[in-house]
Amino acid sequence: MYRIGVDLGGTNIAVGVVDENMKIIGRGKVKTRAPRPAAEIFDDIALAVDMAVKDAGISMDDVSVVGVGTPGSVNKSNGNIEFSNNLEFNNVPAKEMLEERIGKTVFLDNDANCAALGEAVAGVGNGVENFVAITLGTGVGSGIIVNGKIVVGVNYCAGEMGHMVISVDGKPCNCGRKGCWESYSSATALIAQTKEAMKNDPDSLMWKLAGGIDSVSGRTAFDAMRQGDKTAAAVVDRYIYYLSVGICNVINALQPEIICIGGGISHEGDYLLKPLQKYVDEQRYSIYATKQTKIVAAQLGNDAGIFGAALLEE
């Protein structure tokens, strides 16, 4: 039997048919076009599922279960998406609505949790029991795996490590607090830090590489740094330091076997991971322990959420 994983994103709905060897054998993809009514989005999930099944050359009779990773908080006891600001969902009975459309048992969880589970089982985790995934994107997404299970907490919202404070009374965060890790270590934060540095240094190479301040990306500072720009190097160094503070908090609290870093910034490879590891080695409480948490780049890319969703169960 096959399992289907659905990665419901703010931009795309990506679906994969996953076989027993953890290989994606069929795919379907449609635009999310959020925000719009949940019923319309769920109609399109059913459409993308049908596309993936046909692409795999199988029928729905060959599918045992469908898992969905979604932005926001999911009440796993009833399958409701209790809140998703990206989708503008509030107490949506997603499990019931999707099962009506798809005709299969449907399980749901937060998209970051699904990505963590996918990487832990089918990616860089290679089946480890204790694993944390950090995704650096618009925000800082995170998922925690302990003893092979997703940690959800009493209200199914555990793992929001992007909203732990690393600077008291620091930069405002869209969650309403100040000084959250997300406000310093997301790709959005890196872009803001890059723009600020560019404004203070009109001669920086970053102006030329970006083609203007409105075209700055998460790569701009890294690209300029590699070409010897000192202002860019300072931006990258400070950004990685902020990232290391949060990583150390995660290690001190959970001591996972592996922390995997995902998102576009993870593609910087050793330019990100080596200085990050150096800062973490200097700061973590377990500095003298013989066994240490490994910090690695994510392996599955956008497929992590599909794999993790396909693995969901009660």
| CATH number, domain with residue 16 | 3.30.420.40
Instruction: Say yes or no: 154 and 267 in one domain.
Output: yes
Tell me: do 146 and 287 sit in the same domain: yes
Taking CA atoms, 227 is separated from 14, 140, 204, 222, in Å, by 37, 28, 11, 9
The first and second tokens of residue 179, run together, are: 């000084």
- Please give the average pLDDT of every successive group of 10 residues along the chain, which has 314 residues: 95 96 97 96 98 98 97 91 89 98 97 93 91 92 92 88 96 92 96 98 98 96 98 98 98 96 94 98 91 95 94 90
pLDDT at position 52, please? 98
* Residue 108: closest CA among 66, 62, 141, 145: 66
DSSP letters spanning 153-221: -TTS-TT-GGGSBSSTT-SB-TTS-BSBTHHHHSHHHHHHHHHHHHHH-TT-HHHHHHTSGGG--TTHH
88 and 176 share a domain?
Answer: no
Residue 16 · residue 52 · CB < 8 Å: yes
Peptide bond preceding 35 in cis form (omega within 30 of 0): yes
Q: What is the number of domains present in the chain?
A: 2
Same domain for 138 and 230? yes
Q: Number of C-alpha atoms within 13 angstroms, CB side, residue 243?
A: 32
The distance in angstroms from the start CA to the end CA of the chain is: 18
3-state DSSP helix/strand/coil percent for the chain, to nearest 5? 45, 25, 35
pLDDT at 192: 97
Sole residue written with tokens 């872009």: 191
What residues make up the domain containing 140? 127-298
Domain co-membership, 232 together with 293: yes
Whether residues 266 and 140 fall in one domain: yes
Distance CA 108, CA 67 (A): 6
Are residues 217 and 293 located together in one domain of the fold?
Answer: yes
Does residue 284 sit in the same domain as residue 157? yes
Q: What is the pTM of this model?
A: 0.86
**Which residues touch 51 (CB under 8 Å, ≥6 apart)?**
15, 27, 28, 29, 30
Q: Which H helix or E strand runs over 11?
A: none
Which of 49, 115, 107, 42 minimizes the C-alpha distance to 79?
107
pLDDT at res. 121: 92
Instruction: List Cβ neighbours of 85 (8 Å cut-off, separation of 6 or more).
Output: 71, 72
- Please indicate, yes or no, whether residues 89 and 141 belong to a single structural domain of this protein: no
Long-range contact list for 270-275, CB < 8 A, 24+ apart? 271/222, 271/225, 271/226, 271/236, 272/222, 272/240, 272/297, 273/297, 275/237, 275/240
Query: Closest Cα to residue 32, out of 5, 10, 4?
Result: 10
Instruction: Name which of 97, 104, 107 is nearest 52 in CA terms.
Output: 104
Same domain as 70, residue 31 = yes
Q: Are residues 40 and 105 in the same domain?
A: yes
Q: Are 105 and 65 in contact (CB under 8 A)?
A: yes
User: Are both 185 and 251 inside the same structural domain?
Assistant: yes
pLDDT at residue 81, as a whole number:
96
pLDDT in the model for residue 126: 84
**CB neighbourhood size of 177 (10 A):** 15
Q: 94-102 and 38-56 helices cross at what angle (nearest 10)?
A: 40
